[in-house]
Amino acid sequence: MAAKTLTIDGRLVGAHENQTVLEAASEAGIKIPTLCHLDGIADAGACRLCLVEVAGSPRLHPACVLKVAEGMEIKTQSERLRKYRRLLLELLFAERNHVCAVCVANGHCELQDLAMDLGMDHVRYQYRFQPFAVDVTHRLFGLDHNRCVLCTRCVRVCSEVEGAHTWDMEGRGAKARVITDLKQPWGEADSCTSCGKCVHGCPTGALFFQGSTVGEMERDRTRLEFIVTAREKKQWIA
């Protein structure tokens, strides 16, 4: 496998030719903010928070799907990028009801963490969210569309790790939302195995364990990464 050398924020970084800029930066200890990325599943480039500047290109590129190239020069931190990321976060908060004080994921939410990291303490845009129904028909889990950021982690985890293909997307724009089994209530989704991988993969309080109260929704991301790694290394094959 050929190695590539690139520059990220003025540092020389080595990477394999099939790696993304996000992976190369992560291995070098350079943090790039992201919301839709989850180790162990394919990237979708949905949230656009990992946008970076590439020398010689006038546009911004999502680091999670941008493959490394020899001699590439990348900037992950600049005033332009900070403005874009702040804008994206504010639009996410304005589109759905993300009132942290009454959310089950308060204190354990990646959206909340990103807002704090970027110093976002208010939203400059008019709130446009409409109330969505909360699906608590499943005996173990619940779905609150009002907290969903449409990152599609649940869709990809269910498809790629569990192989159940229970989750999908419907609608466009502000009306877009995740659905189970062609818009059946989650509790009536025959394809769901009740594994809970989608809940562990969710970055916000959109997917939660039944009975969780404010601030109790902690997740274990290492479970998903462990499963994927074990499969790749064929550790479960006799």
Tokens linked to 41: 């599943």
What is the SS3 assignment for 198? helix
Q: Would you state the structure tokens that stand for residue 66, as one six-digit string?
A: 């941008």
**Residues 61, 16: Cα–Cα separation, whole Å:** 19
CA distances for 96 relative to 33, 116, 129, 148, 217, angstroms: 20, 18, 5, 7, 19
Mean pLDDT across the chain: 92
- Per-residue pLDDT reduced to its tens digit, 138-185: 999 999 999 999 999 999 999 999 999 999 999 988 889 999 999 999
Please give the domain boundaries of the chain with CATH numbers for all domains: 3-77 (3.10.20.740), 102-232 (3.30.70.20)
Are the C-beta atoms of residues 60 and 87 closer than 8 Å to each other?
Answer: no
| Torsion angle (degrees, nearest 10) of CA 168, 170, 176, 180 | -40
Mean pLDDT across 26-52: 94
Q: Provide, rounded to the nearest whole percent, the portion of the chain with pLDDT above 90.
A: 75
Q: Letter for the amino acid at 156?
A: R
Q: What ranges in the chain are assigned the alpha helix state H?
A: 21-27, 79-95, 110-117, 153-157, 197-201, 222-232
Which residue do the tokens 């520059």 mark? Answer: 7
Q: In what order do the strands lie in the sheet containing 134-135?
A: 134-135, 141-144, 207-209
Task: Report CA 197 to chain centroid distance, whole Å.
Answer: 14
Q: Which helix (H) or strand (E) holds 180?
A: strand 177-180
pLDDT of residue 217: 87
